Structure formats: C-alpha cells, structure tokens
C-alpha cells in the first residue's frame, strides 16, 4: 500500500535548493478514533538520508482536537513546530500535491523518496 501512495515525483535542482514535488494519493486508513500515525517522506541517497515534513494521519476524534489546537494557536505555528506538512483525517481518502524546497547538498544528485509509516 505504501508504494502506491506516491503517484508521481519530480526533483529539480534550483541553484542552492532542491525542489521536490510529488502527487500523493492516500486511501482511508484503519486507525482508532483517538489514534494517529505519521507518514514521513525520507530522501535517501547512498548512506545519506533526510526526513522531510510529514503527514499527520489522525483518527476521527483526534483530528477534531488537532483542528481546535490549530484554531487557537494558528496552523503555521503548529506545523512548523512539529514539522507537519499536512494533517488529515485518516478515515477518509486524501490526495494532494506535496511540494517542498530544501537546501541542496552534493549527495542529493542520485536520490529517491521512501515513505516511512509509523
């Protein structure tokens, strides 16, 4: 299932940065109402790796609590502190374009994305 989540990916070197774009399509997950999982894109190349901002996959009740927290402190604050790309209700299917720009390093010439579900 994890291997089917990334529909398409693209890596573009832009000067000092590496632009990573992916089409993501997630099915509903079997998750407890108060539970959560993280789905973390991991950029790998040889012995090097770098975690990218992750998806927070919440159970239905937990996602309501997350949304209340966002309303009180702001989405930007929550996502930057926890390195969340997007929080979703895991009981529903979901699709989006994942787009991040990171500082380029030489080892990133031959990289790939792996997804880690925890």
In eight-state DSSP terms, residue 90 is T
- Give CA–CA dist 22/92, Å, rounded: 20
User: What's the distance, CA 47 to chain centroid?
Assistant: 22
Domain total of the chain: 1
Query: What is the domain range of residue 55?
Result: 2-117
**pTM, full prediction:** 0.88
Per-residue pLDDT of the chain (118 residues; tens, 9 = 90+): 565 787 788 899 999 999 999 999 999 988 999 999 999 999 999 899 999 999 999 999 999 999 999 999 998 888 778 899 999 999 999 999 999 999 999 999 888 899 999 9
Distance of alpha carbon 22 from the chain centroid: 10
Residue 63: which of 87, 83, 93 has the closest Cα? 87
**Token digits of residue 97:** 């374009």
């Amino acid at each position: 299932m994890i291997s089917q989540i990334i529909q398409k990916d693209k890596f573009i070197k832009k000067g000092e940065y590496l632009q990573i774009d992916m089409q993501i399509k997630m099915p509903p997950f079997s998750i407890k109402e108060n539970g959560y999982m993280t789905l973390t894109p991991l950029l790998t190349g040889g012995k090097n790796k770098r975690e990218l901002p992750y998806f927070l996959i919440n159970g239905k009740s937990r996602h309501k609590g997350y949304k209340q927290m966002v309303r009180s402190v702001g989405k930007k604050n929550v996502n930057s502190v926890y390195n969340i790309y997007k929080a979703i209700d895991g009981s529903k299917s979901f699709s989006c374009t994942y787009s991040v720009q990171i500082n380029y390093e030489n080892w990133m010439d031959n990289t790939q994305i792996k997804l880690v579900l925890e």
